[in-house]
């Protein structure tokens, strides 16, 4: 059995190998997606990366503060019947089939080919774990492992190869994703494509202007966020007005955030942690819930922050059926008064310094494989309870959470499963 995802929690995680050197696999990559090959090709080697639950939060979490409080026989039966266990994937990390059947290039294709030295093992996603050819087998593995849901992303270059609507839609790409959805619904019932293929009917011809040679980091992040929120709300409105009655589907927006704690118990540090969270999380959740940006963001950003009209506020409020949350680590926060007024930008607008160290200079937890990632498991609990209490108790799915782990291609599957680092997490 090999990996079907790079994200799984409370279930066995297997492999997410970015690119196999196996010649047989590379020879197969030009075949159609419906052709499966039973050769294992070292399928059990790879990364034991991160763990994820797709879960439904209906009541305030009553999680143990200490692992010692968890019963020795703790298992899935301790969760409510409507608690959903699932797996999640990212198109580039799993699909492979990088240049066949009409797919266009994506920026990761270009980046990994032109700058292999920027990737630790010089690999790419040209083959990855070959989900494009093996998706039926992967989805069967999900079913066999007891998953209730599968969240996956759509590679737009596979659907719109040129990146422009007038360049045409790749019907083979559409067929592939529809087949994946149908297979998922047949095997494990719940499919959550990150982007609804039906949105192609409303695809806007917003294309890159190649004459643009510069940017403004003091305004453009806010402009992008503003229009992303409005576009999301508009798509939700279209779906609810034209498709909801017959399809009875649900739409989410997925948000990534860190959790922030005050560096000390000083009032200034406590306030800084709240501000940091508002700039990273409230910037999105406040408009989706209240139709406006957090007051502190408005005050600190000023005229550089676009304003919502009354109509847009109404459009935004409640423009989701559930929230997807992605959490990995925590930062401690303290005020930062040393902001250069001549170089204002989103990263410094909060006037907060974020650090992975505590007040005594100790790291907040063990370092994972990524340089920015220090383990603080309880942050996910704090984030869930904060979201519940602050934003009208929304339905929440944890769409990403866990710890990354260095691949060791010399390990057998038996050796790889002796992953104390992941187990301790």
Strands 322-327 and 396-401, by their bridges, are: parallel
Residue 409 is among the residues annotated as catalytic for this protein: no
Q: Are 366 and 403 in contact (CB under 8 A)?
A: no
- Cβ contact 3:108 at 8 Å: no
Q: Of the residues 17, 261, 312, 400, which is catalytic?
A: 400
Is 400 an annotated catalytic residue?
A: yes
- The DSSP letter of residue 279 is I
**Which residue from 72, 79, 77, 94 is spatially nearest to 14, judged by alpha carbons?**
94
Distance CA 398, CA 396 (A): 6
Query: For residues 53 and 51, what is the distance between their CA atoms, to the nearest angstrom?
Result: 7
Question: Which entry of 171, 207, 220, 409 is annotated as an active-site residue?
Answer: 207
Whether 188 and 142 have beta carbons less than 8 Å apart is answered as yes
State both tokens at 237. Answer: 């409105």
- Asked if 14 and 94 touch (Cβ cutoff 8 Å), the reply is no
Among the listed residues 69, 71, 86, 19, the one whose alpha carbon sits nearest the alpha carbon of residue 46:
19
Which positions are catalytic?
207, 400
């Amino acid at each position: 059995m090999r990996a079907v995802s790079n994200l799984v929690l409370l279930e066995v995680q297997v492999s997410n190998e970015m690119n196999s050197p196996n010649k047989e696999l590379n020879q197969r990559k030009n075949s159609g997606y419906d052709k499966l090959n039973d050769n294992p090709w070292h399928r059990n080697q790879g990364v034991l990366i991160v763990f994820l639950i797709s879960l439904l939060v209906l009541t305030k979490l009553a999680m143990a503060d200490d692992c010692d409080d968890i019963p020795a026989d703790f298992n899935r039966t301790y969760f409510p019947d409507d608690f959903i266990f699932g797996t999640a994937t990212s198109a580039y990390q799993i699909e492979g089939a990088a240049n066949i059947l009409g797919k266009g290039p994506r920026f990761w294709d270009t980046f990994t080919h032109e700058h292999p030295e920027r990737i630790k093992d010089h690999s790419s996603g040209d083959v990855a774990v070959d989900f494009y050819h093996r998706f039926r087998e992967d989805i069967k593995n999900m079913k066999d492992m007891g998953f209730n849901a599968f969240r996956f992303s759509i590679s737009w270059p596979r659907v719109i190869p040129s990146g422009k609507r007038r360049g045409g839609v790749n019907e083979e790409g559409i067929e592939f994703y529809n087949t994946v959805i149908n297979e998922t619904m047949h095997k494990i019932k719940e499919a959550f494509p990150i982007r609804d293929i039906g949105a192609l009917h409303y695809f806007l011809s917003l294309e890159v202007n190649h004459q643009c040679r510069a940017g403004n980091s003091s305004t453009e992040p806010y402009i992008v966020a503003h229009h992303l929120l409005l576009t999301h709300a508009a798509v939700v409105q279209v779906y609810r007005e034209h498709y909801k009655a017959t399809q009875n589907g649900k739409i989410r927006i997925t948000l990534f955030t860190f959790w922030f704690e005050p560096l000390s118990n000083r009032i200034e540090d406590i306030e800084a942690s709240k501000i940091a969270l508002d700039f990273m999380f409230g910037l999105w959740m406040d408009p989706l819930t209240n139709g406006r940006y957090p007051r502190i963001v408005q005050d600190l950003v000023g005229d550089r922050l676009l304003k919502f009209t009354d109509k847009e506020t109404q459009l935004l409020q409640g423009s989701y059926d559930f929230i997807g949350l992605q959490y990995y680590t925590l930062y401690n926060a303290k005020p930062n008064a040393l902001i250069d007024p001549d170089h204002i930008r989103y990263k410094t607008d909060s006037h907060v310094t974020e650090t992975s160290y505590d007040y005594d200079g100790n790291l907040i937890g063990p370092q994972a494989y990524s340089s920015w990632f220090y383990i603080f498991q309880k942050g996910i609990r704090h984030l869930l309870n904060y979201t519940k209490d602050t934003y009208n108790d929304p339905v929440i799915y944890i769409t990403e959470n866990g710890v990354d782990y260095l691949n060791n291609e010399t390990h057998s599957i038996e050796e790889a499963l002796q992953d104390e680092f992941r187990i301790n997490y």
